[in-house]
Every structure is written in C-alpha cells, then in structure tokens.
C-alpha cells in the first residue's frame, strides 16, 4: 500500500474561545515564513476560520468532518496534502471531545498528535489538572503537549508550567495582548479580507509564538509528530451532469460563506463558474443558474436594498425559469424585508414573500442533511448555523433532518425557479443532488423527498 508520512498536529482546546485559530494561524505563518510548505485543515463546518488560515499558510483550507465530509474524503485530502507538504495542521472545533463526531474522533482515526490550547488567564494550578484530563480522558489519543494562552506575566507562566505532571509537555505561553488577536462578531471571526491589518496581526502572532518552545521547533523537531497517511481508495468520478451550465456565484463581504470544496465539486460536475458582487455589480453575469451562498447580508442591508438593478436582473433570471439556489444569508436577501437586531427594517429584493428578523441568540446550529426525490446517490449533507428567523406564507416543500434528533430540521422553500433554505450544503457529499439544485426543473429533480430520520454518526 502506498503511504506518505508527514509531521502533523491537531490544535484543540477544552472549549470554544480559547484561541485555537490564533495559535493555528500563528504556527502556519511561522513555518510558512521559514520556507516550509504548510497545509492547514479545519475540523468541522466552518466558513470563517479558513479565511485566516488560508492567509497564514498561502494554501487553500479544506474542512475535515467524519460525518459531513466523510472519512473517505478526509483520508483522501490528508494523503494528498502529506504528499506535498512539510507540515500539516488541523484546527479542531469547539472543545476536544465536543460533538459527534468530535475533534478527538478525527485525531484518533488518523493518528494525529493533539496540541491543547488553554486560556489560562484565570487559573494557575488547575491548568495542570485540565491538561492532564484532556490527555488521559480517552485512551489511545496521541499527545503533543499544551500551550497556555492569554498569560499575564512570566511569573504566571512559571506557575502554569510547574502545574504539569509531565514537564516535557509544556509548549510555552502566549501573552495576553490585543495586537495579534483576531476580531470576532456574531457568527464567528471577521473574515481576514475585511481586516486591513490582517497580515500584520498574523505576523505579530507568529512572532509571539516564536518565543515559545512550540515556535522554536525546527524541521528536525517536527519529526516527533510524524504521521503515516495511507493512500485512499479511488474515488468515483462524478458524471458531468452540469456540463454546459454556467453558474453565477455571489462572492463579496456580504456573501462569503463558500467552501472551496463546493467550488471544486461544481467544476468536477462540468459547470463553468463566474462570480459577481451583489454589493458592487449592477447586473448578473451571463449564466444558466445562480448560487447565493450564506454570509452577512444584515451587515450590508442598506447597500443590498439599494441595488435595485441587480434585483431586477435576478427577477428576470427567475422569470426565465433559470434556477437560483439560496443558502441562509443568500435566502435572507430574497425576502421582502430584513429586520436587524436594532429593530430597523430594510426592504430586500422581494423574490420570496415574507421577512427575516435577526435574533439576539443563536436560532439553530448543527449537522443536517437533505434528501431529494429521484436522487439515488444519497442525501446532501451539511449543517445549519444562523441567528435569524423567517416569517413567510410559503409552505415548506420539504425539510432537512438532523442526526440523532427526531423531528424536522430546516425548511426548504420552492418558489418558481428558486430553492432556498437555511441549510448550508456540502456539495461533494452528493454530486447528483447538487446538479439537481442547479438544473431547471424540466431537467433536474430538485424536489425534496419525504422526510426521513437521519442516522446518528
């Protein structure tokens, strides 16, 4: 069996908000600056962290999730990256053991050593207990060590280091500073493209990490994290179901929730991709179908509302029975009205009846799948994550289901040539279903099948 070996590490934490992305990006930037080829992956469904990780590493960042993307896809991506890289870094999701499947499941499945990042700003001796628990909670988990984050002083760092039962697992401490912190908002990190000093922040984080034992590891030191990645089974080549189809994809600060793997999947189906900005462009590109992905329409509501020329062009597109697939934020802009958390209402494009309202709390979160009638290949997997709710007279044409949870998930609305849902799809999970979303109803089959219970992972 063909194999490739490469140093690899999974950056985890006891909970969200500990600084995983900052450390992952700093580590990637540090080794990229040293001339090493670094490939970074993100565990779980996440659109925003990869913006920073791509900037830090200079390479595309793909998602790894044992349920959503599947073990075979994870195996193939890791093997391909190990073939060309000097270091693989996987950023975990939430806490190390949170979720089903968890970051720990991924690490154990592929033999990845785990680096724990712990926000130690409000602890001393408990740091050692927490590190010990993370390391030993599950047998058979490879352990790289622990890094203390947001540390107040050298004295504080010394207290944390002395609390460890195994001193060799101390990989250093990062200070409590703001010059390299990554800005956040309600759906996660602010995209790197929106931050004028993004690279300055990454370099500052890399410089801080360079002063730690972790940051001082050279090529020889990284060999302790060698992982052997076996060649995956050959993946089937999808039929060119979208050959001759041009898909126009919204892509700007308002619509930035796009997996690179989804773009790859559309191209593999034979589609030609063109991009446009609903914030800046007055007309749709010439196309056969439109994809409005998720993002932050609520932050750009006034500009989107004012772009009546693009709205009218999209209306003509739909009137010609050309498909539109709208996910989450892409769906929000199609309703008649968007009401922000401040209560201010903005007129949207009115291609769907009803309104959406931003809530102060998360409205839905978790894995989902969508079954389409006539698609024998299997369900389209993905997830949901949104703060808004919609009020519409439209009756759902179907609903997604969620693993291990009875009852319906997100609604899928069909209105003429428009398909819309809060559901974010992972396109490679079912190429045939994706093709159905972007083909006219006379050629495709983008009709939800009867709801079915989704098996737990």
> Is residue 288 predicted with pLDDT exceeding 50?
yes
Does residue 357 share a domain with residue 219?
no
> Is residue 185 predicted with pLDDT exceeding 70?
no
Domain assignment present for 450: no
pLDDT for position 444: 40
Confidence band (pLDDT; 50, 70, 90) for 454? very low
pLDDT for position 190: 58
Mean pLDDT for the stretch of residues 218-230: 95
**Full residue range of the structural domain in which residue 364 is found:** 246-438
Q: Please state, for a pLDDT cut of 90, what percent of the chain lies above it.
A: 78
Does residue 265 share a domain with residue 298?
yes
Does residue 205 share a domain with residue 160?
yes
pLDDT for position 455: 38
Domain assignment present for 240: no
Does residue 254 share a domain with residue 198?
no
Does residue 263 share a domain with residue 146?
no
What tens digit of pLDDT does each residue of 300-328 get? Answer: 999 999 999 999 999 999 999 999 999 99
* Structure-block tokens of residue 382: 């993905």
Give the residue with greater pLDDT, 452 vs 440.
440
pLDDT for position 456: 40
Domain harbouring 159, CATH code: 3.40.50.300
pLDDT for position 278: 97
Mean pLDDT for the stretch of residues 193-215: 87
CA dihedral 60, 371, 366, 260 (to 10 degrees): 10
CB 152 within 8 A of CB 124: no
Domain assignment present for 335: yes
Domain assignment present for 225: yes
Confidence band (pLDDT; 50, 70, 90) for 457? very low
Helix H or strand E encompassing 126: helix 126-136
pLDDT for position 59: 96
Does residue 198 share a domain with residue 116?
yes
> Is residue 181 predicted with pLDDT exceeding 70?
no
> Is residue 8 predicted with pLDDT exceeding 90?
yes
Mean pLDDT for the stretch of residues 98-113: 96
What residues are labeled active site?
328
Mean pLDDT for the stretch of residues 246-264: 96
Confidence band (pLDDT; 50, 70, 90) for 196? low
Does residue 289 share a domain with residue 224?
no
Does residue 329 share a domain with residue 204?
no
* Structure-block tokens of residue 102: 């968890």
230, 260, 277: which is the final residue of a domain?
230
pLDDT for position 177: 75
Domain assignment present for 457: no
Q: How many domains does one find in the chain? A: 2
Q: Kindly report the pTM of this predicted structure.
A: 0.91
> Is residue 99 predicted with pLDDT exceeding 50?
yes
Give the residue with greater pLDDT, 456 vs 250.
250
Does residue 267 share a domain with residue 219?
no
pLDDT for position 182: 63
- Residue whose C-alpha is closest to residue 187's, from 436, 367, 362, 406: 362
What tens digit of pLDDT does each residue of 133-142 get? Answer: 999 999 999 9
Does residue 355 share a domain with residue 212?
no
CB 43 within 8 A of CB 21: no
What tens digit of pLDDT does each residue of 15-45 get? Answer: 999 999 999 999 999 999 999 999 999 999 8
Does residue 178 share a domain with residue 264?
no
Domain assignment present for 257: yes
Mean pLDDT for the stretch of residues 213-236: 93
CB 348 within 8 A of CB 338: yes
Residue 51 phi, psi (nearest 5):
-60, -45
Domain assignment present for 360: yes
Confidence band (pLDDT; 50, 70, 90) for 453? very low
Q: Please state, for a pLDDT cut of 70, what percent of the chain lies above it.
A: 92
Does residue 430 share a domain with residue 287?
yes
Domain harbouring 253, CATH code: 3.40.50.880
Domain assignment present for 445: no
What tens digit of pLDDT does each residue of 325-359 get? Answer: 999 999 999 999 999 888 889 999 999 999 999 98
> Is residue 192 predicted with pLDDT exceeding 80?
no
- Residue whose C-alpha is closest to residue 77's, from 88, 92, 91: 88
DSSP string, 162-211: HT-SSGGGEEEEEE--STTPPPEETTEEPPGGG-TTHHHHHHHHHHHHHT
Region of residue 94 (phi > 0: left; psi between -120 and 50: alpha; otherwise: beta): left
């Amino acid at each position: 069996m063909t194999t490739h070996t490469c140093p690899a590490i999974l950056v985890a934490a006891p909970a969200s908000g500990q600084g995983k992305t900052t450390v992952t990006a700093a580590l990637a930037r540090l080794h990229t600056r040293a001339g090493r080829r670094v490939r970074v992956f993100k565990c779980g469904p996440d659109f925003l962290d990869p913006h920073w990780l791509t900037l830090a590493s200079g390479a595309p960042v793909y998602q790894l999730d044992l349920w959503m993307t599947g073990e075979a896809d994870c195996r193939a991506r890791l093997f391909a990256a190990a073939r060309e890289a000097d270091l693989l870094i996987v950023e975990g999701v939430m806490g190390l053991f949170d979720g089903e499947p968890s970051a720990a499941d991924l690490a154990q499945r592929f033999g990845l050593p785990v680096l724990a990042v712990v926000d130690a700003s409000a602890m001393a001796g408990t740091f050692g207990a927490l590190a010990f628990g993370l390391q030993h909670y599950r047998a058979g988990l490879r352990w790289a060590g622990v890094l203390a984050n947001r540390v107040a002083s050298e004295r504080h760092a010394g207290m944390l280091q002395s609390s460890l039962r195994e001193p060799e697992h101390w990989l250093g401490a990062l200070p409590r500073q703001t010059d390299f912190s990554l800005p956040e908002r309600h759906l996660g990190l602010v995209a790197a493209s929106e931050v004028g000093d993004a690279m300055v922040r990454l370099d500052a984080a890399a410089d801080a990490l360079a002063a730690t034992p972790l940051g001082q590891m050279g090529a020889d030191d990284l060999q302790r994290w060698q992982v052997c990645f076996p060649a995956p089974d050959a993946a089937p080549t999808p039929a060119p179901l979208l050959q001759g189809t041009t898909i126009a994809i919204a892509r700007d600060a308002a619509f930035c929730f796009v997996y690179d793997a989804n773009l790859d999947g559309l191209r593999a189906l034979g589609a030609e991709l063109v991009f446009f900005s609903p914030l800046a462009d007055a007309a749709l590109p010439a196309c056969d179908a439109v994809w409005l992905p998720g993002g932050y329409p609520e932050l750009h509501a006034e500009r989107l509302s004012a772009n009546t020329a693009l709205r009218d062009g999209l209306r003509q597109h739909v009137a010609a029975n050309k498909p539109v697939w709208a996910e989450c934020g892409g769906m929000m802009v199609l309703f008649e009205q968007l009401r922000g958390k401040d209560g201010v209402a903005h007129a949207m494009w009115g291609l769907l009846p009803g309104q959406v309202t931003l809530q102060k709390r998360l409205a839905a979160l978790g894995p989902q799948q969508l079954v389409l009638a006539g698609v024998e290949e299997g369900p389209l997997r993905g997830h949901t994550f949104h703060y808004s709710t919609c009020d519409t007279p439209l009756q759902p044409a179907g609903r997604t289901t969620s693993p291990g949870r009875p009852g319906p998930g997100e609604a899928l609305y069909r209105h003429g040539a428009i398909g819309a849902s809060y559901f974010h799809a992972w396109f490679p999970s079912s190429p045939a279903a994706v093709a159905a979303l972007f083909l006219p109803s006379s050629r495709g089959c983008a009709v939800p099948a009867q709801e079915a219970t989704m098996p737990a992972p």
